[in-house]
Each structure stands twice: as C-alpha cells, then as structure tokens.
Amino acid sequence: MSASVIDGAKIARSVRERVAREVAELPTPPGLATVLVGDDPASAIYVSSKRKQCVQAGIRDLHRHLPGDITQEELADVISELSADPAVSGILLQLPLPDHLDAGALISRIHPDKDVDGLTEVSAGRLATGRPGLRPCTPSGVIELLDAAEIPITGAEAVVVGRSPLVGKPLAQLLLQRDATVTACHSRTEELAAVCRRADILVAAAGVPRLIGADAVKPGATVIDVGIHRREGRLCGDVDFDTVREVAGTITPVPGGVGPMTIAMLMANTVTAARRQSTRAGSPSGPASSA
Ligand code: NAD
C-alpha cells in the first residue's frame, strides 16, 4: 500500500498564517534583519524569499546587503549594532559567507535572544539543557510536520540519519525532548539500513541523494526527508521516494515536504524572539540581557 504523503507546503502555509495572526496581536511589529554578504545568486534567492514571506506576515524587513569584500571587523560591527538595536527582533546571517570571513566568530556576535536561526553556542546550549530558547528552523520544522500529521512522538523509536549542528544533532535533541527513543546515525554508522529499520520515525538528513531505500524502512514507518538535491534537472531528497512510499506509512516529498517549513519556522522564531524581548524590556533586567 502506498504511504500517505505529508503536504509540507500546506502545513507551512498554516504556520505562516498563524504567525501573521500573532504579529497582528503584538504592540509593535517584529523586525527581521537578514544579512547578505556578497552576490552569491543562490543566497540572494534564499534571502529574498525569506524577506518576501516575512513582509507578507507583517514582519518588518530590516535587510542589510553588504559588499563581498567587507572585513571581519566591519561585519562584526554590523552584527553587534543589530544585536543592540531594539527595532531588530531577529538576525539572520545568510551562510555560506565569503571564504575570508570566519562565520563561527560572527555568529557568536548575534545576541542569543535574536538568534532566529538557532545557531549560536548559547542557543545550542539552551537546547541541549532543555531551557527555553530559539531552535534551529529546519529541525523545528520537522517537529511541526510530525505534529501536524498527528504522528505520535512520545515513546516512538526515532532514527535520525545525519548529525550536523544545523539539522541532525538539534533534531535528535528535539525528538528526545519529546520523549522519543532516539538513535543518531552518521557517516561511520555500520549497518545503516538495519538501524534505520528499527525506526517508527526515520529522518534522513545526510545530504546523500536517495541514500535511504525501501530496505531501510520498517513497514508503516513515518519517513521525513530533509535532503535536497538537484539531479538531471529535478529535485530529489535523501530518500528514494518511489520505492520507500510502497513500504512507509507516511512520507514527505521533495520538493514540498520539509523545505517550505524552514522559512515558516524562521518567521515563528522571529515572533518568539520579539515576545521574549518585549517581556524582558518590561523586566528589571531590561531588554535583551543574555542571562
Ligand atoms: P552536512 O553535510 O552538514 O551533514 C551531513 C551529515 O550526514 C553528517 O553528520 C554525516 O555524518 C552524515 N552522513 C553523510 N553521509 C552519510 C552516510 N552515507 N550515511 C550516514 N550518514 C551520513 O549536511 P546538513 O547541513 O545537515 O544537510 C543535510 C541535507 O539536508 C542536505 O541535503 C541539505 O541540502 C539538506 N537541508 C535541507 C534544508 C531544508 O530546508 N529542506 C535545510 C538544511 C539542510
């Protein structure tokens, strides 16, 4: 029997609509500062669609486009200035940066309460210790998809293939927080298919086209494909969709699965950040303290 297909585009739309309602209820609209360095065409497209969707939801567009030859110090100053600016609720530094810039050092300049990509060490620490904070967008999009599709997470065997700081590792932590029994696989995992076959929820985030075949899927499992690749002019994921859909119970397509969720969760994070900052502004510790 063919798996039911999760409609990520539809779920992302409902998240964006929820964000727009939440924005309308805030006393002042949140502001998102996207920071684009140089003229990489793919990055320019990503940033422009983030800005467009944010504006549609009522989020203020505080974009900065900076020259590709900007120095580390100059860019660090821009990020520090945005971190201190009360009009800026969230900061997104579009990656990759030109080779001469140290992305890690620049990300660490983003105030953790404005870290809408969830990439600072403070955000990673908050996630690892289960404290409130901003979570990376793609992994939280996966959780949102599972919830929207009413896939039970508590007590489920979850296998995450990939352990990057951007996707696999934070996703494993989010699933653990939701009381799944989590296995994290990576490039050195032995008998990958056998480990994956244990999963009630299998997430592929390895960056290897069609790595996950039907032999790696337990009948009836939920399969979430984070991978995205262009092959022979078509997009595909880390999952061999056509064969896996005959075994899985539920599956996400590529495109139209996890992809649309990432920007939707960025918008949701921007609202969360704005709320947190307005609460802090009213507290004795003042706005944006990094406690
Ligand atoms: P990455 O290259 O940083 O990490 C890949 C991870 O997969 C590593 O931990 C590695 O150990 C593991 N891996 C690699 N080969 C493997 C193998 N053969 N078996 C098991 N594990 C293996 O990649 P990333 O940034 O985490 O992204 C993963 C994929 O998700 C990519 O295709 C990327 O384009 C996609 N992605 C999509 C979105 C989205 O919005 N849909 C967002 C981020 C990343």
Give residue limits of the domains in the chain: 23-117, 136-260
State the catalytic residues. Answer: 50, 94, 117
Class of domain 23-117: alpha beta
60 CB near ligand 1 (under 6 Å): no
- Tell me how far the alpha carbon of residue 53 lies from the centroid of ligand 1, in angstroms: 25
* Ligand 1: residue whose CA is nearest its atom 4: 164
Q: How far is the CA of 167 from the CAs of 171, 178, 236, 256, in angstroms?
A: 6, 16, 18, 18
192 CB near ligand 1 (under 6 Å): yes
Cβ-contact 61, 51 below 8 angstroms? yes
208 CB near ligand 1 (under 6 Å): yes
The terminus-to-terminus CA distance of the chain in angstroms comes to 52
Q: How does residue 184 score in pLDDT terms, banded at 50, 70 and 90?
A: very high
Q: What is the pTM of this model?
A: 0.95
Statement: 136-260 belongs to CATH 3.40.50.300: no
The rounded percent of the chain whose pLDDT value lies above 70 is: 97
- Tell me how far the alpha carbon of residue 209 lies from the centroid of ligand 1, in angstroms: 10
Q: Which two tokens stand for residue 26?
A: 């805030």
Cβ-contact 212, 223 below 8 angstroms? yes
Whether 23-117 shares its CATH topology with 136-260 is answered yes
pLDDT of 219-237, one tens digit each? 999 999 999 999 989 999 9
Confidence check: pLDDT of 255 > 80: yes
Confidence check: pLDDT of 4 > 90: yes
Residue 216 DSSP symbol = G
- Tell me how far the alpha carbon of residue 167 lies from the centroid of ligand 1, in angstroms: 7
Residue 9 DSSP symbol = H
236 CB near ligand 1 (under 6 Å): no
